[in-house]
Structure 1
């Protein structure tokens, strides 16, 4: 096979395929896109037991090679096209030992493509607990391939799997399965001649899927279309016939191999829990309690590490100003780059805690129950049950959630889901919320265990979810479609979360947040520092002249006060100040001053930029000697006209509502364009969300001020 081999992990959803991928590759992995499309491509690297290195590709989960979504169509394209850059030398098919018959349907299809296959029988520990015994050696003998019993969760069987992969030949060894040739012999023979292949199943799959495949020229697609028409090739009927034939074949394969002594008890535990967790009343009550616990924990558990990070950056700034030579570069580094970076890094504990909980809820199988429960509500508002997955995913980030809406077959449901998903508060809004809540909501406990700040944070998330559902309800009347949508979902059995997987998710998401948001924020911080430090030369010369005359008449104590006044006046007359003052008349009714106005503009690159912008502006405003933390500076900021705090209760809530509803994310605009193939939808989204944000902020400020 050569020195390096390519391995493709293939399997049904919820079989532990991604957990196995993380086990095999560890931290040695990267995520990109498959060429020409926006489907995630997860690639990692590992060493096999024979010393060879392997590239591992984690293909999207699918129940069959007949795709129901764009993600699923990738599986056949990668496996069938030998010229595809991801085409594997070996397929590792991950199957759930607790539901082997259903999982082997996909195996039998992949095997018929005549690729070398290793069957990884996962969750064998779970199967034993449920009274299921699988004779691995006999199964291996009947299929003609290597079968390895593993448990990705308990990290067992991995050395044996690596050895099996290393021992796999480049020639497929599996025995013949279902005879698909009898399904459409004439059409298959003609397609084989056209495609120059001797593989019946490859020809059959191409006849089913050629219109969506990139493998063929327009002439070849036309010829395949003619073959279908000539032989009255009906895809849906033939797919059903093939599935029945495969299950008949698998029944003979599994006879005497699977002993299920606990068939009656198999799902009893899950069913008992589901009676409570999916109950019409208790299910929602428990979900709200879990939500509250998550947001309460985000505030309570993160306060100490955040304080350490905040103090560390204050110390770095203070130490830098004391020991580095005075000048433009020092100010740029400390008041621009370090201040902006501090505004990102401080929120790592909260981001890590949020994603830890999301990972635990997914691993245990509870997130699937939430999706099932919410389906009943979503339909009343014109959405499909499948819309719940992108909307829940938007709690983390709207970009992958919008991409996941491809799984929604109904065009109308998919468009409405895409249009409302960015309203659900994502992790990028979390730094804004926590900063503002920390300024105006006291850190105290209600009834001894409810954190008031955590309760407020949960309130912001609940508001965003209700807003998304109400907007969907309105859009349902304007966007028309004829087709009806259906929601079919398999509820996985409850399992303990794999803690190493949770820790890896925390690390990966925190790293992504710092790297992706950090790049944008540092760039914005540098530009902002320049804009806030420099201004029209005539204005700055006038300010210098004014303060020189005043300083000549003052003592040293008064001069230090004058330095702060001079810095503030220069900031107001800088390019950033001029920009802020230009938009101030528009945002003043919302309770925002010109400094907040600058932050609103920079936030359109990324919402997290608000914190970095505030850090940079108040660092420039404070002067070199003032190195108190960003929260202290914002708390101390006064309105020059009224003498009252800039960040009052009314202003802070007005600002949070603006960030809750406004479309301040260039990445989301780009991905909506990419998914809808039109600028119409992202532009409508940008306009309606900005208008909604403005009106909500205006009402909130005017009522609370």
Structure 2
């Protein structure tokens, strides 16, 4: 077999070697693509090379789009690194895998790589080399990154690196992307000019050559195997024109080409050659005499009864933690914001001061107070992914999901929806079946995202006692989990309805590879928490501050002298200025009258008839509308509205809501109103961004508009039912 070919001239140097490599001024930027099986360590390697911190999860399907960053290979050489979605072969079964073929099949494409780094699992080399062999037959210059060598050693797998290099015809670099070992050696090889592998693993048969050669010459392709892929996948190749596809279609029909039979024959032939290579380069020196520990753990975690109980217990722990563990830091943040606002109001006066305290601080405080709960949620999710448990949950839930028109792969987007619906809907690209993918996209917004935590926790704390159940379970935590389960089971019921509506002959299947169990990388967990909290504060904070400022203006001013007239009318109801509590009551009445006469009040009163049957008033109506920008805006809006003209000593948003009174002077937020509002937010469409990403993924406005109408109607009906029953 030929040895790997490496041109020692640095990348970007001239052919004669006279390029300016000292300063690097004339060096061309190299583009390197990382490609490999799901969960083979691509994204970890990407982070090691670029210093960026992309999401790394110990389950397949984390990368659903290509990401890029830059790596310094040497003092004079820099490269763009592209992280591609994981795939088992170059025959895409899902939309995320199609990203790879659209890039690698068009040599003239803007992002076409100079060479590829193929990450393979050293403990499962046979499976990983299938993809490498296809890339080699496309004549792509490549280097093999032999990852997870520590796992292979523990399993008694010994790999003869020189022999493997000789058989494959490319450099092979043993490494561990988790701890960075082998990265320096990989960079040295990546800095060289790699040639296409001289080895061929499989060639089209003589019967295929007439068709293959016609496609090759028509499109000016550089080899026969690429032409064969055009014949196999021309319907899915995005850059081909309608005329191009029609030409290939004619050839396929003319030569009676059966793509499925051909792909099966090719795969068998490739594995035959891979087995020969492994016999030369791989030795197993020790076999497991006992059942692996991971299998014994899996028997417990994926048990048909016990597995579900364990998963529910983990969810219970999560929601208990969101209330119990986060309470102290939340109290500190809440008291700090309230104290700052009171200090400013007590020492300064004027419209700008009121704008700062009643608008900006009131709205921003509604975001900052929930940082501990958001951090805990993402910490739990990150640990579940890092350990490999999330993949087991996916397998476990497949049997539960399938009768409702979903598959096990739908679990990943649905669970991701607990964080945010936008990346969760994008994650549905890994689902091969069009029907399963559409159903998953449609019902994912019914999963309660992290932006709803502020709404849930404020309202639950108002009406649910803070006491233990059975001595260990916090009643508020139980209520919070019930809200999440309500959204989940409604998603299942909605999926079942869609299953009967959508008609397709396509059959779905579910294959999931279990990653090995690993201890969480606490650095990655910390990075995940930091990134998610930062995104929550920055993105939500911008929207909330902007809306809070606008709302403060609308709530502080009205048309003409309408507010002064309203105040005069209230004061005329009092024959004298009473002292003590009556004076405070007068001031509250005046503030309420001025607020109702403001622009915000006038607008709110106009929409109040539509929401009054739900128990909502005009103030809640304004919050419902503004929170369509982002769910967490609800708390900021309520805080701003109830801050205008109110006593600064009321402090926190919960205090303000608790102090609100109805026309009879009774507490406004009764259990009936609070639960009606909670149920409304469980079912209502999450935000504008969710609609936008649904349109992007479905390429049609029909789906996002159907989501909006269905979920708004469902939210209204359920909230109406709850209020009418409980009041």
Displacement of 1:432: 0.9
Match of 2:137 among 86, 93, 112: 112
Alpha carbons of structure 1 residues 183 and 56: separation in structure 2 relative to 1, 3 Å: farther
Q: Distance in 1 between matches of 2:339 and 2:32?
A: 49
- Matched with 2:150 is 125
Residues 1:65 and 2:90 are matched in the alignment = yes
Q: Distance in 2 between matches of 1:145 and 1:298?
A: 51
Displacement of 1:544: 4.9
Match of 2:190 among 149, 154, 165: 165
State the TM-score, normalizing by the size of structure 2. 0.89
Residues 1:605 and 2:632 are matched in the alignment = no
Residues 1:659 and 2:681 are matched in the alignment = yes
Q: Give 3-state SS (helix, strand or coil) of 1:592's partner.
A: coil
Q: Distance in 2 between matches of 1:439 and 1:206?
A: 62
Matches within 5 A, 1:563-578: 563-578=587-602
Cα deviation, 1:57-89, whole Å, max 9, x if unaligned, reads 211111111100111011122223334333222
For the 8 Å contact 1:318–1:627, the answer to whether it is kept is: no
Structure 2 spans left out of the alignment, 5+ residues: 1-10, 13-26, 57-62
- Matched with 1:200 is 224
- Matched with 1:142 is 167
Displacement of 1:258: 1.8
- Matched with 1:330 is 353
- Matched with 2:492 is 469
Matches within 5 A, 1:4-403: 4-27=29-52, 40-166=65-191, 168-173=192-197, 175-180=199-204, 182=206, 184-264=208-288, 268-322=292-346, 326-403=349-426
Displacement of 1:518: 2.6
For the 8 Å contact 1:122–1:152, the answer to whether it is kept is: yes
Cα deviation, 1:385-435, whole Å, max 9, x if unaligned, reads 333232222222222222333333433333332222211211121111112
Q: Distance in 1 between matches of 2:291 and 2:83?
A: 29
Q: Distance in 1 between matches of 2:255 and 2:368?
A: 63
State the TM-score, normalizing by the size of structure 1. 0.92
Cα deviation, 1:610-663, whole Å, max 9, x if unaligned, reads 11111211221425x446111211122222x12222222222221111100111
- Matched with 1:676 is 698
Q: Give 3-state SS (helix, strand or coil) of 2:139's partner.
A: coil
Structure 1 spans left out of the alignment, 5+ residues: 32-37
Alpha carbons of structure 1 residues 647 and 14: separation in structure 2 relative to 1, 3 Å: same
Bigger mean CA offset, 682-691 vs 430-439: 682-691
Q: Distance in 2 between matches of 1:182 and 1:298?
A: 65
Bigger mean CA offset, 676-685 vs 340-349: 676-685
Alpha carbons of structure 1 residues 50 and 82: separation in structure 2 relative to 1, 3 Å: farther
For the 8 Å contact 1:8–1:56, the answer to whether it is kept is: yes
Alpha carbons of structure 1 residues 607 and 267: separation in structure 2 relative to 1, 3 Å: farther
- Matched with 1:494 is 517
Q: Distance in 2 between matches of 1:579 and 1:40?
A: 43
For the 8 Å contact 1:130–1:266, the answer to whether it is kept is: no
Displacement of 1:208: 1.9
- Matched with 2:670 is 648
Residues 1:629 and 2:624 are matched in the alignment = no
Displacement of 1:232: 2.4
For the 8 Å contact 1:181–1:200, the answer to whether it is kept is: no
Match of 2:465 among 442, 455, 461: 442
For the 8 Å contact 1:339–1:616, the answer to whether it is kept is: yes
Residues 1:532 and 2:548 are matched in the alignment = no
For the 8 Å contact 2:136–2:197, the answer to whether it is kept is: no
For the 8 Å contact 1:120–1:161, the answer to whether it is kept is: yes
Displacement of 1:249: 1.6
